[in-house]
C-alpha cells in the first residue's frame, strides 16, 4: 500500500499493483525531473559542463581552478568548491566514495520507515 497526497491535501491510498506502481511512477518522475531546474543544469554552466561534465571545465572544477561564469548562484559556487576539496581528499586516500553492501544496510536500518530513498 502507498499513500499519496493531492494538491488539495487529501490523502489517497493505493492498494492494487497497478495503482501502487502508477503512484510510485508519478512521484519518481516528478522527483527526478526537479534536478533539471537546478542552476547547474541551465545556462552558461551547463554549456561549459555538458550533461556528463566530462569537459575541460569539469576537470577545472575538480582541480579547483574553475572560475564560474558571472551570475552563478552563490550556493552553486560553494558546491563547486566542495567538489574540488573532496576530489583532492580522494586523491590522498582520505575520502572513499565506495558504498559497500554493509554501509548501505547500516544506513537503512537506522532511518525511519517513511524516509524516501531519493
> What per-residue confidence (pLDDT) applies to 118?
58
Q: For the chain, which ranges sit under pLDDT 50?
A: none
Q: In whole angstroms, what is the distance from residue 93 CA to residue 112 CA?
A: 32
> What per-residue confidence (pLDDT) applies to 43?
87
pTM for the whole thing? 0.62
> What per-residue confidence (pLDDT) applies to 84?
96
> Domains of the chain: which residue ranges?
1-37, 39-118
> What per-residue confidence (pLDDT) applies to 32?
85
> What per-residue confidence (pLDDT) applies to 19?
96
> What per-residue confidence (pLDDT) applies to 96?
83
> What per-residue confidence (pLDDT) applies to 38?
82
Q: What is the largest CA-CA distance in the chain?
A: 53
Question: Between the CA of residue 43 and those of 32, 35, 65, 67, what are the distances in Å?
Answer: 19, 14, 20, 15
Cβ–Cβ under 8 Å, residues 66 and 57: yes
Amino acid at each position: 500500500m502507498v499513500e499519496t497526497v493531492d494538491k488539495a491535501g487529501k490523502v489517497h491510498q493505493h492498494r492494487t499493483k497497478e495503482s501502487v506502481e502508477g503512484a510510485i511512477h508519478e512521484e519518481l518522475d516528478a522527483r527526478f525531473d526537479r534536478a533539471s531546474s537546478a542552476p547547474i543544469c541551465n545556462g552558461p554552466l551547463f554549456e561549459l559542463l555538458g550533461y556528463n561534465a566530462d569537459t575541460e571545465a569539469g576537470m577545472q572544477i575538480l582541480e579547483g581552478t574553475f572560475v564560474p561564469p558571472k551570475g552563478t548562484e552563490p550556493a552553486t559556487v560553494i558546491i563547486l568548491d566542495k567538489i574540488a576539496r573532496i576530489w583532492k581528499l580522494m586523491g590522498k586516500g582520505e575520502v572513499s566514495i565506495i558504498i559497500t553492501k554493509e554501509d548501505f544496510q547500516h544506513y537503512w536500518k537506522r532511518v525511519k520507515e517513511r524516509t524516501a530513498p531519493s
